[in-house]
Chain A
């Protein structure tokens, strides 16, 4: 493995972690969507680079799917939904940038601590990739836990899925059929989520999860 190839792969995978950090403190919906598009773009680059250095041509398809759907179609669709729901001006109170950053850093450290000893036998690239992928996954979960807004939950879920794709690409890629079906299932998830968002909105006049929770509390009693 050439030093440069490794460095670029490392840089791109690390870039995803950084963008995940960016996602954590975006309190406006549009910027969150834009950051997610950036996240997917970096993923597409990372997977494309993997395809180039592994000479695994089917990974180009994976990268293309990531670029087309995750960096372009999904953010645009979500943007439309947001506009139709009329929530593009809402501000979401994020728990506190400093606290989130600290928690995120701890999670990245945890991911590295777990992954590096486990994959001692694998080659360096796969090890780094797996550690970063786990970090992206954990950060996505952290995002989902922190937010109330349904759109933010969707974004958290999609960034988590990006982490999975990164892991699969690093570990010599997954079969193309699996990749395509995963991509389509994510798309279908988007459609279902979109429909649900409108339904939720119709019923509760809000896509804030807290409103739903209070409603549930009321029913329970």
Chain B
């Protein structure tokens, strides 16, 4: 509560008193303050300002959004807004990184805003600091990209106001410390991104995507609201501190787990709640797609971790891990299978996000299973893997979406069947995209490999689990993970190969131009980060250690920075270790030696000769291997089962002039089994009740009267 009187006192007294009144007004709390006068005294003063600063800086973003409404038609406003967003995100990133590395104690702040009896609580701990880093790293890079990319935007006034708003919303979600602030920021984020999805609303597909997104977002928020309601209990302790302290019955906590899985999962894209994601993410402008896929799904993961690992707390039941594991495994495999069937570059990337969310949830499920059996060391490994993958996926998925944005501006095409040969026209974009593809396919020495390797290490420790069901389930999920990793590699061979290699399949692709320098800078920063996180994984794991310790009852992985040669030794040197640096050195040496040998002993010059054309000179580019042909073997193997794929070859008889046709028919099992019946039921019900629209006045009055009488009767009889 605001105290009205201290104003006079502060004028009369010295500075120390002012500090105290500020404290009393905002109830700043530090659980264990280090002694004053120590070398960190200046750090105390700084950390007191840290949380207000982290909360206030997004207000600058909001101001940018307001400015955009006023000035979005002016050509320079795009640069100003993206520049400001870049600066703010970099600052937030630096602050959060500083906090995480200093391993400070949590900071709390209560503001007298929002609901009068609750206020707004905010808290900065290691978990929120880590996700702040993910959010603002993505925000900064996409702002940098948009400095160049935004120039091509057809309708900047539809994008500019919402881009900074969306960023501000995501920042507030991870800092919120009560249900009201959390849901408010969550909806802020959802609506901001919805407006961005609808930026090009003239296309009917985008309008449909926006509608579906809105429905699913509201469903998710409803599930989260119910989860918070259960956590708060009848006493209504809606701030997270009260929820942490409260004890709830196992039945209720299981319900909270399911609701959190539904609420956060619908935003993150867990199968079968993913249906909106591959429609909505590609519909937005590419830098926003990068933010939604790379960052917003991570905010959803944050929501799940915050509720299940932090608020729900002990005791963890073993089957929770099983549920989350199964959801993650199914999501991973189905996501990548969907992705393989796609020929639209951005939609392929969006489906692939679903797969990666599955991998993250596998890690989280393993952590839950280990925690339930008090195997905290293994839980730390699984959690580190999941959080590492959160960071990794935000890096390479942003990179890939930015690359697809560069391709889209250069050619105007998203359909891979009309691309090709871009490596000649856009060599730098191609290089960055290749790095991203290798990283997401989990190839060493890049970062994707490290997190998936750590997940596998955790899976290999699963025989320590006592429950037989988990003993069987975890290796099965491991097999699913391995399958999805292999399919992901296939998927990105297809994405990169069809888009960048071969010959151009359309005039637009043949005349593509390399993208601008801002966009290239953004992509190369991300590619560099992918490489860095891949060759120095020990440092990342060390950075994650306070987060893991916070979620895991203090247990965390051993320090990695003092391992020889920067090796990653999560479990024990005898059992397993990985050194990205050495792998990279070896690969570089081997490649260099191979190149040297070839050029020394075979031929010193690169030659360009005609391709073998089977005796048909000047073959059309359409005779090349296509995205469809690439997917065919996978479709034959898995498609008939999962997608009920049917191929029909229509061969005209000899003499007929018609072209031969190959028709492929795919069904979306999730949509047809889960969503189509619901939609049909809603339509059937509303058709049946449609006559209520055409009643006479007397009938309406009678309805009101009857309802009133029935309610009063119920009241009279029930009492």
A55: CB under 8 A from chain B? no
State how many angstroms separate the Cβ of B719 from the closest Cβ of chain A: 5
Interface residue from A110, A117, A216, A220 paired with B713 (Cβ < 8 Å) = A110
Q: Which residue of B lies closest to A156 (CB)?
A: B701
Complex formed: what's the CA distance from A65 to B218 in Å?
49
Measured CA separation A216–B700 after assembly (Å): 14
Among B698, B701, B716, contact of A113 (Cβ-Cβ < 8 Å): B716
B702 within 8 Å of A (CB atoms): yes
A90 to B714, CA, bound (A): 40
**A213–B709 CB distance below 8 A:** no
| Interface hits, B681-707 → A, CB 8 Å | 694, 696-698, 701-702, 704-705
Taking a contact as CB atoms under 8 Å apart, the answer to whether B716 and A144 are in contact is no
CB of B694 within 8 A of CB of A141, answer no
Specify the chain B residue showing the minimal Cβ separation from A148.
B698
- CB A139 to nearest CB in B, in angstroms, measures 11
- The binding surface of chain A is classed by DSSP as helix
Q: How far is the CA of A144 from the CA of B705 in the complex (A)?
A: 9
Q: Please judge, given known A-B contacts A110-B713, A114-B715, A114-B716, whether A138 and B708 are in contact too, CB under 8 Å.
A: yes
Chain B 159-188 interface 0/1 with A at a Cβ cutoff of 8 Å (1 = within) = 000000000000000000000000000000
Contact A110 B701 (CB under 8 A): no
Q: Does A85 reach chain B (CB closer than 8 Å)?
A: no
Is A209 part of the binding interface, using a Cβ–Cβ cutoff of 8 Å?
Answer: yes
Compute how far the CA of A153 lies from the CA of B696 in the bound complex, rounded to whole angstroms. 14
Query: Would you call B698 and A145 a contact (CB within 8 A)?
Result: yes
Give the docked Cα–Cα distance between A145 and B701 (Å).
6
Contacting residues of chain A (171-221) with chain B, CB-CB under 8 angstroms: 209, 212-213, 216, 220
Contact B701 A213 (CB under 8 A): no
B712 within 8 A of A: yes
> Do B705 and A145 touch across chains, with their CB atoms under 8 A apart?
yes
- Chain B CB within 8 A of A107 CB: yes
On whether the beta carbons of B705 and A141 are closer than 8 Å, the reply is: yes
- If A209-B696, A216-B694 touch, whether A141 touches B712 (CB-CB below 8 Å) is no
Among residues of B, the one whose C-beta sits closest to the C-beta of A209 is: B697
| Alpha-carbon distance A212/B700, docked complex (angstroms) | 14
Q: Is A164 an interface residue (CB 8 A)?
A: no
Inter-chain contacts of A141 with B (CB < 8 A): 701, 704-705, 708
Distance from A206 Cβ to chain B, minimum over Cβ atoms (Å): 14
Known: A110-B713, A144-B701, A213-B696. A117 touches B719 (CB 8 A): yes
In the complex the two chains form, what is the Cα distance from A35 to B712 in whole Å?
Answer: 28
Are B712 and A110 touching (Cβ within 8 A)? Answer: yes
Judge whether A216 and B696 touch: CB under 8 Å.
yes
Does any Cβ of B come within 8 Å of A142's Cβ?
yes
Question: Please, which residue of chain A has its CB at the minimum distance from the CB of B702?
Answer: A145
Q: Which residues of B contact A114 (CB under 8 A)?
A: 712, 715-716
- Nearest CB on A from B182, distance (A): 37
Q: Which of A35-66 contact B (CB under 8 A)?
A: none
- The total of chain B residues at the interface (CB under 8 A) is 15
Write the chain A residue with the least CB distance to B712. Answer: A114
Contacts of B713 in A (CB 8 A): 110
Instruction: Please name all residues of chain B whose beta carbon is closer than 8 Å to the beta carbon of A153 when the two chains form the complex.
Output: 697
What's the Cα separation between A213 and B697 when bound, in Å? 8
Select one of A142, A209, A212, A216 contacting B705, CB under 8 A: A142
CB within 8 Å of A: which B295-310 residues? none
Q: Which residues of B contact A213 (CB under 8 A)?
A: 696-698
Give Cα distance in the complex from A213 to B702, angstroms. Answer: 15
CA distance A213 to B701 in the complex (A): 14
A213 and B705 alpha carbons, distance in the complex (Å): 19
B698: chain A residues within 8 A (beta carbon):
145, 148, 209, 213
Q: How far is the CA of A148 from the CA of B705 in the complex (A)?
A: 16
Residue in A138, A145, A220 whose beta carbon sits within 8 Å of that of B694 in the complex: A220
Closest CB-CB distance, B718 to chain A, in whole Å? 10
Query: A135-156 vs B: 1/0 string, CB under 8 Å?
Result: 0001001101100100001000
Closest chain A residue to B699, Cβ basis: A213
* Closest partner residue, chain B, to A150 (CB atom): B697
Known: A117-B719, A209-B697, A213-B697. A110 touches B702 (CB 8 A): no
Nearest opposing residue in chain A for B704, CB measure:
A141
- Name the CB-closest residue of B to A110: B712
B697 touches A110 (CB 8 A): no
Shortest Cβ gap from A80 to chain B (Å): 24
B692: min CB distance to chain A, Å: 13
Contacts of A113 in B (CB 8 A): 716
Min CB distance B36 to A, Å, is 56
Complex Cα gap A138–B708 (Å): 9
In the assembled complex, how far is the CB of residue B713 from the closest CB belonging to chain A, in whole angstroms? 6
Contact B705 A110 (CB under 8 A): no
Q: How far is the CA of A213 from the CA of B709 in the complex (A)?
A: 25
CA distance A10 to B709 in the complex (A): 24
A51 to B645, CA, bound (A): 82
A110 to B705 Cα, complex, angstroms: 13
Complexed CA–CA distance, A216 and B719 (Å):
43
**B694: nearest chain-A partner, CB-CB:** A220
Give the chain A neighbours of B697 by CB distance below 8 A. 153, 209, 212-213
Complex interface: chain B residues within 8 A of A142 (CB):
705
Q: Which residues from chain B contact A216 at a C-beta distance below 8 Å?
A: 694, 696
CA gap between A209 and B715 in the complex, in Å: 33
Question: A118 CA to B719 CA in the complex, in Å?
Answer: 9
Nearest-CB residue, chain B, relative to A137: B708
Question: What is the CA–CA distance of A142 and B706 in the complex, to the nearest angstrom?
Answer: 10
Chain B residues with CB under 8 Å of chain A are 694, 696-698, 701-702, 704-705, 708-709, 712-713, 715-716, 719
When A and B form their complex, which 5 residue pairs have the shortest distance between CB atoms, in order from nearest? A213-B696, A113-B716, A114-B716, A141-B705, A145-B702
- Residues on A lying within 8 angstroms of B by beta carbon are 107, 110-111, 113-114, 117-118, 138, 141-142, 144-145, 148, 153, 209, 212-213, 216, 220
9 A-B pairs within 8 Å (CB atoms) are namely: A110-B712, A117-B716, A138-B709, A141-B705, A141-B708, A142-B705, A145-B701, A145-B702, A212-B697
**New A-B contacts (12) at CB < 8 Å, excluding given A141-B701, A145-B698:** A110-B712, A110-B716, A113-B716, A114-B712, A117-B719, A118-B719, A141-B708, A144-B701, A144-B705, A148-B698, A209-B696, A212-B696
